[in-house]
Amino acid sequence: MNSFVLKAFVLTHEGKVRSNNEDNYNLFGDYKKDVCVNRTEYEAEAAEGDAVAAVYDGMGGEEAGEVSALLAAEHTEAFPIGEVPVKGPEHLKAVNEMVCDIISRLGRRTGTTAVQVFFGSGKARCVNIGDSRAYLYREGKLTQLSVDHSEGQRMIDLGLATPEAARKSANWHRLTQHIGIMPDEFVIEPHVSEEIELADRDIFLLASDGLTDMLEDVETESILEKVRDGSLRDAAYALLEAALDAGGRDNTTILLVRAEKGNE
């Protein structure tokens, strides 16, 4: 009988422009517990079973964005893969209520994006809100699993702009959904991807927009192609170096999970 081992690596960096890092993550239960830490990395391995990897981007321009990202990271839960379509969105809505409580107490806005990939029973599924992304890299091809909740993506979906023009728009980064939406504004609707059957050497990439705004998907794909069977740490740092070379305009978090097939 075949089973999968999940090997993973995550790093987070403040970038070349911002002085603090509002990003956070959760990798099989570990997360950045100190919001004052700008750079950190973590390597982990998990046997096949219910597991979750996630990246959170504290809202740029909002006060205390790192507080919302930390709250989301520390409350991350792994659900059985069959329960993800219901429990995944429900959980993010519960986290949204927690953040709204903080907003009410502080009297100022704070928020975060969320992208999560759940693993179990030889399968994976993505849940997200905002514009932090998850990809599947399989057999040389990079496929986006998450959906961008942004004005730029809305323009593309409505045929109002090409992807190239939308990326140059002033509205590209304006989020249409995120964690930190008050109940009198609207009810958030996290996206849930289709279920994915794991294949040997599948690589899942989760990242904040500090990576995806700096690199086109084809560039990311090329970097992963060069290192796909090597060290995940080397792959993550190669992606970070490319993002920094391209300007490093935002906090950057890169999380990689590779599914490796074994026999039991």
Tell me: the pLDDT tens digits for 3-29?
A: 899 999 999 999 999 999 999 999 999
**CA–CA dist 9, 28 (Å, integer):** 10
Beta bridge partners of 263: 2
Residue with tokens 């790192």: 66
For residue 158, what pLDDT is reported? 67
Q: Give the C-alpha distances (Å, rounded to integers) separating 88 from 53, 228, 239.
A: 13, 29, 28
Nearest-5° Cα angle at 54, 89 to 193:
50
> What pTM value is reported for the model?
0.94
For residue 248, what pLDDT is reported? 95
Alpha helices by DSSP H, 32-162: 65-74, 84-106, 151-157
- Burial of 178 from C-beta contacts in 10 A (0-12 / 13-18 / 19+): buried
pLDDT band at 109 (very low <50, low <70, confident <90, very high): confident
Tell me: the pLDDT tens digits for 217-228?
A: 999 999 999 877
Q: Which domains does the chain have, with CATH numbers?
A: 2-263 (3.60.40.10)
The pLDDT mean for the chain works out to 92
For residue 39, what pLDDT is reported? 97
For residue 2, what pLDDT is reported? 60
For residue 1, what pLDDT is reported? 43
